[in-house]
Chain A
Amino acid sequence: MENLPLKRSGIKIWVIVALFLTSPAKLSAQFFDALVPGEVVVQHAGSIGFFSVGAGYRVFKNKRGNVDMNYGFVPASKGGPLHILSAKFAYRPFEIRIKDWATIYPANPGAFVSYHFGKEFDFYWDKSQYEKGYYWWSSAIRPHLSLSNEVKLHGKKIVRGEKIKSITLYSEFNTNELYLVSFFQNHGDLSMRDVFKLGIGVRVGF
Chain B
Amino acid sequence: MVKNIICVLLVLALFFVACNELEYSPNQAFDNDTPRDLNNKNIKRLLETEGDDTIRFVLSGDSQREYSNSKALVSAVNKMKGIDFLFLAGDISDFGLVQEMEWIDDIFSRLQVPYIGVIGNHDMVANGERAYRRMFGDFNFSFIYKGVKFVCHNTNSREKAFDGTIPNLPWLKEQMSYEEGVNAYVTVAHVPPGNEDFDNSVKDEYIDVLNSSPNTLAALYAHTHREDLFYPGAGKIPYIVTDAIEHRQFVLVEISNGKLTFETIRY
Contact = CB atoms under 8 A, between A and B. Distances in A.
A47 B97 CA distance: 13
B259 to A, nearest CB: 38
A176 interface: yes
Interface stretch (A5-13, A54-62, A125-133): A125-133
Contacts of B12: 149, 151, 169, 171
Given A104-B11, A190-B103, A198-B21, A179 B26 contact: yes
B239 interface: no
A198 B4 contact: no
Given A79-B24, A185-B65, A173 B15 contact: yes
Given A44-B22, A185-B65, A190-B103, A102 B27 contact: no
Interface string B74-117: 00000000000000000000111111100100000000000000
Contacts, number: 130
A126 B160 CA distance: 11
B71 interface: yes
For this complex, into which size category does the number of interface residues on chain B fall? 35 or more
Given A135-B125, A171-B15, A197-B19, A80 B26 contact: no
B24 A49 contact: yes
Nearest to B69: A186
A149 B15 contact: yes
Interface string B8-21: 10011001101111
A79 B125 contact: no
Contacts of B28: 74, 78-80, 82
B265 interface: no
The SS class assigned to the B binding surface is loop
A198 B161 contact: no
B26 A190 contact: no
A6 to B, nearest CB: 32
A199 interface: yes
Nearest to A131: B196
B15 A178 contact: no
B139 interface: no
A79 B95 contact: no
B27 A116 contact: yes
A129 B67 contact: no
Interface string B118-131: 00000001110100
Contacts of A48: 25
A189 to B, nearest CB: 4
A33 interface: no
A99 interface: yes
B41 interface: no
B24 A78 contact: yes
Contacts of A176: 26
Contacts of B71: 189
A168 B98 CA distance: 32
A116 B8 contact: no
Interface of B: 4, 7-8, 11-12, 15-16, 18-31, 65-68, 71, 94-100, 103, 125-127, 129, 158, 161
8 contacts: A74-B25, A79-B25, A121-B126, A139-B95, A171-B16, A178-B97, A193-B21, A198-B23
